[in-house]
Copies of this chain bind each other. A is one copy, B any other.
């Protein structure tokens, strides 16, 4: 049985509902989403496989998830570095960046150079609200991730992919196939085109909300904030 997916439009409505009737703050949701991402990286790339995690951070919520993940990874003993070229003036993102600075996590200006000494990359550039064209300076970032042999974990969506249709047919991102994907709350339709290891994270959705949006809460184990699912959505 395939996991049900959540369209871009439904994902945006779910986010709004979690923060209105669901009574969650964005601080809470982002903390739990970023924690999920950090647990996936710990699982697919244990500390002893190399500590240097490069995090590509976009200007919106997907980037915020990446900032939170980097903080948790630092506490797990990794050495993250942040590429964050379009800093938001949003108070929350500024605070998340400050929390990393207080942990002496470096912010780097040149993604391609940083990639050469990275053991793993987190792609937190664009999430489910992405559509249209990849804006500067991110085309080169996506191209570098696509061409690099360093494994990549994408947050919610491989950046540049269309949320419904998957990888673009031509141009930036058409050859970008990350190794790992963390779908937050529920997979988006693009997972049909994804061939790597697939996890679901974001263990905060009430059954009533999942039912309303017609997706399944996966069978998380123990205190895990993530669960690995197979290509057909089957639990591994």
Q: Which residues of B contact A87 (CB under 8 A)?
A: none
**A236 CB within 8 Å of chain B:** no
CA distance A208 to B23 in the complex (A): 34
Residues of chain B lying within 8 A (CB to CB) of residue A39: 223
Instruction: Check if A214 is an interface residue, CB within 8 A of chain B.
Output: no
Scan A192-236; emit 1 where CB is below 8 A from any B CB, else 0. Answer: 000000000001101111000000000010110000000000000
Of the candidates B22, B92, B94, B102, the one whose C-beta lies within 8 Å of that of A22 is B102
Is A99 part of the contact surface with B, judged by Cβ < 8 Å?
Answer: yes
The stretch from A27-35, A113-121, A153-161, A172-180 touching chain B is A27-35
Within 8 A of B (CB), among A107-139: none
The number of chain A residues with a CB under 8 A from chain B is 33
Do B23 and A99 have beta carbons less than 8 Å apart?
yes
Find A23's partner among B76, B95, B207 (CB 8 Å cutoff).
Answer: B95
B27:A75 contact, CB within 8 angstroms = no
In the complex, the chain B residue whose C-beta lies closest to that of A95 is: B23
- Using A31-B31, A32-B31 as known contacts, say yes or no to A95 and B222 having CB atoms under 8 A apart: no
Report if A79 contacts B (CB, 8 A): no
In the assembled complex, the CB of A28 is this many whole angstroms from the nearest CB of chain B, namely: 5
Measured CB to CB, the nearest residue on chain B to A32 is B31
Contacts of A76 in B (CB 8 A): 222-223
Contact with B along A1-42 (1 / 0, CB 8 A): 000000000000000000000111101100110010011001
On chain B, the residues within 8 Å of A95 by CB distance are 23-25
Contact (Cβ within 8 A) A98 B23: yes
Q: Is the CB of A203 within 8 A of B27?
A: no
Which of A72, A94, A204, A206 counts the most chain B CB atoms within 10 A?
A206
- Closest 10 A/B residue pairs (Cβ): A23-B98, A23-B95, A27-B27, A102-B206, A25-B27, A27-B28, A103-B206, A39-B223, A31-B31, A42-B223
> 12 A-B residue contacts at CB 8 Å?
A23-B98, A25-B95, A27-B28, A28-B31, A31-B32, A39-B223, A72-B223, A75-B203, A75-B204, A99-B206, A102-B206, A103-B206
A residues sitting closer than 8 Å to B (CB atoms) are 22-25, 27-28, 31-32, 35, 38-39, 42, 71-72, 75-76, 92, 94-96, 98-99, 102-103, 203-204, 206-209, 220, 222-223
